[in-house]
Structure 1
Amino acid sequence: MTAAGPRRRAAGTPLLDAHLAADRGGFHLDVALRVGAGEVVALLGPNGAGKTTALRALAGLHPLTAGHLTLDGVDLDRPDGRVWVPPERRPVGVVFQDYLLFPHLSARDNVAFGPRRRGADRRAARALADAWLDRVGLAGHARRRPRQLSGGQAQRVALARALAVEPTLLLLDEPLAALDARTRVDTRAELHRHLGAHPGATVLVTHDPLDALVLADRLVIVEGGRVVQEGDAAAVTARPRTDYVARLVGLNLHRGHADGHRVQVGPLALTAVDRVVGEAFVAFPPAAVALHPARPDGSPRNTWPATVVGVQRHGDHLRVELGGPLPVSADVTPAAAAALRLRPGQQVWVAVKAAETRAYPVGS
């Protein structure tokens, strides 16, 4: 999976400088987040990781218990200084997952709502709303109410409503999750264009890696309320550091002890293309895993016996889940699967290409 590539790089002091420490029931969030002007950062993580809690804290819907939230040099939440700015007074725009458009208002009045709340008169607010609806391609839909809009149109109205207040920080909570697959492709491209023109900081919360890779300049991976990895798409996808990230980018990942090109992972010693000494991760794609009915001739490196746990379709290939001394996933063609007569419980031999096996230090 590849990214569209960063459009810009933040320089100097970040527009958003936050240490989000918050408690919600028995869950504790502790996430540091810095976002520059014009930068889009995606928060990714499994369900229950803390993404929504972080977004609510940024919006002012969930006060911090410690840490700080500073936007454009102004403290919005700093518990030790008894500073807390309510949501309606923050220069923050939010697009919620379900959009939350006012059902009784037209598209124009939904977009005009924010400017009106901030002091604009009715005429000026409506003129601004019309300009934004035109910008998102909905000039002819100004009088329609939310129930008369498609999912993609409602998403664009919600985006226009958030941007109409000229937010210093734009928050997007799973903005494409409610759309069908076809609408999602077109809307993602449209959203990418609008985010590229937004001068403020943007934080995108999503569970979809494609949304993150296409829309964001930088990824922040959150698990259990903590940041486990961050960087641009190339850095994160090349060197995953948790099972979740490895699954996200489609790699097998294991941890072991390296001595040169050999990495000891449990009972197996794997040969990798990289030279590493000490605690190391070893990663390889499912496509690098070959399956054989018997031990391959010549005893090639990186081979071991395994048991088929499950087989399912994965694009044009079949994804085979394997148990044994080193659980891995393999991608094989339907023809290869038929020739091997793959079925759960079957014994096979695994061979992994050393040239596609990468190793890297745990601490790097």
Structure 2
Amino acid sequence: MSLDARLVVRRGDFRLDIALSIGAGETVALLGPNGAGKTTALRALAGLTPLTDGFVTIDGRDLSAVPPEDRRVGVVFQDYLLFPHLNARDNVAFGPRRQGVDRRAAHAVAERWLDRVGLAGLGRRKPRDLSGGQAQRVALARALAVEPALLLLDEPLAALDARTRLETRAELHRHLAAHPGATLLVTHDPLDALVLADRLVIVEDGRVVQEGDAATVTARPRTDYVAQLVGLNLFRGHGDGHAVRVTDDLVLTATDIVHGDAFVAFPPAAVAVHPRQPDGSPRNTWPAVLTDIQRHGDNLRVRLAGPIVVAADITPAAAAQLDLRPGRELWAAVKASETRAYPAA
């Protein structure tokens, strides 16, 4: 049960135009900033938003003109959208009943799914009597009870607190691994994507800007959004061997060899901050001005303006020694061995 689709949707000045392929048993995460078109894509696959152009096929069957209720698509929305007047069992049984299954058999299906998601014995509870994690699991059971060829998850963990999110993420991973159909996970959370998905597809402004497995995407980001998502400083320039010119006044050296249009990336932890121009091993140094400082885990993350704008992670002790404050003139340094360069094309 694989998906092959090209989704073209025009809404005012916005145009979504992306191709998606998801294999049987595969989970693909669709990531992107707000307004990128993620939810529009999900609704188009579900048949809730009409296509301007393109197609949606599952196992070769064109679903473009098929109404939502006949698509064998299960959807878990961000706010779950459980029917408030139905108990958990009847919420899960709703799909099988719509498929023509009689009430007793549909209730039996619902009870099995509630047991599988760890909610045995809670079938008579109304949505208002469920915790956030329990409501999410009922919504998942309801989506899976129709044996969907395509499972769509729209920010399924966003409404949960941190502790419940951790537990539910692990539970969701187990169910996705057992799902034989294709799964699309729409999320803005990179951790959800990395834990739950086999492959990442990044969309910006209605188009795909990067896709691949997690290792490929995180090692070689191709836009500022992706770089921020994976926690890297990213710059575009022109490569000439080990050197990449990123501005008229700054050339960065890397151990990689690139020629022509190229990206340079390095983590904030690789950026050393000095009160004056350093001597010795760093081959990449430039003057900078501190513009912002924030706590980041056990360290501090500072933003440095200059020929390039970079983020750097430093310890509180180092910050005290450097007398860091906005407007402070400093020097930034990155070793060539901690700088990655790769073709932009």
Which TM-score tier does this pair reach, normalised by the shorter chain?
A: over 0.9
Count of residues in correspondence between the two structures: 344
> How big is the shift at 1:316?
1.1
| Amino acid corresponding to residue 362 of structure 1 in structure 2 | A
Deviations 1:113-164 (A, max 9, x none): 0000110000000000000000000011010000000000000000000000
2:266 is aligned, of 281, 284, 303, to 284
> How big is the shift at 1:297?
2.3
Distance in 2 (alpha carbons) for counterparts of 1:150 and 1:336: 44
Give the aligned partner of residue 294 of structure 2.
312
Distance in 2 (alpha carbons) for counterparts of 1:190 and 1:285: 32
Give the aligned partner of residue 105 of structure 1.
86
Give the aligned partner of residue 152 of structure 2.
171
- Tell me the TM-score normalized by structure 2: 0.99
Give the aligned partner of residue 99 of structure 2.
118
Distance in 2 (alpha carbons) for counterparts of 1:26 and 1:121: 46
Distance in 2 (alpha carbons) for counterparts of 1:299 and 1:39: 46
2:223 is aligned, of 242, 246, 249, to 242
> How big is the shift at 1:185?
0.1
Give the aligned partner of residue 174 of structure 2.
193
Gaps of 5+ in 1: 1-13, 78-83
| Amino acid corresponding to residue 340 of structure 2 in structure 1 | R
2:8/2:17 contact within 8 Å kept: yes
The root-mean-square deviation of aligned C-alpha atoms, in Å, is: 0.8
| Amino acid corresponding to residue 153 of structure 2 in structure 1 | L
2:282/2:336 contact within 8 Å kept: no
Distance in 2 (alpha carbons) for counterparts of 1:204 and 1:76: 20
2:281/2:335 contact within 8 Å kept: no
Partner of 2:121, secondary structure, is helix
Partner of 1:294, secondary structure, is coil
Q: Which moved more, 1:297-306 or 1:323-332?
A: 297-306
Distance in 1 (alpha carbons) for counterparts of 2:11 and 2:82: 27
> How big is the shift at 1:210?
0.2
Partner of 1:264, secondary structure, is strand
- Tell me the TM-score normalized by structure 1: 0.94
Distance in 2 (alpha carbons) for counterparts of 1:285 and 1:260: 22
Give the aligned partner of residue 261 of structure 1.
242
Give the aligned partner of residue 358 of structure 1.
340
Partner of 1:140, secondary structure, is coil
2:28 is aligned, of 41, 49, 72, to 41
| Amino acid corresponding to residue 62 of structure 2 in structure 1 | D
| Amino acid corresponding to residue 288 of structure 1 in structure 2 | A
Gaps of 5+ in 2: none
Distance in 2 (alpha carbons) for counterparts of 1:125 and 1:68: 32
Give the aligned partner of residue 162 of structure 1.
143
Q: Which moved more, 1:314-323 or 1:220-229?
A: 314-323
1:71 is aligned, of 58, 74, 94, to 58
> How big is the shift at 1:300?
3.9
Distance in 2 (alpha carbons) for counterparts of 1:348 and 1:324: 10
> How big is the shift at 1:63?
1.0
Distance in 1 (alpha carbons) for counterparts of 2:279 and 2:211: 42
Q: Does 1:345 align with 2:332?
A: no
> How big is the shift at 1:353?
1.3
Q: Measured at CA, do residues 300 and 162 of structure 1 come closer, stay the same or move farther in structure 2, by a change above 3 Å?
A: closer
> How big is the shift at 1:301?
1.4
Give the aligned partner of residue 52 of structure 1.
39
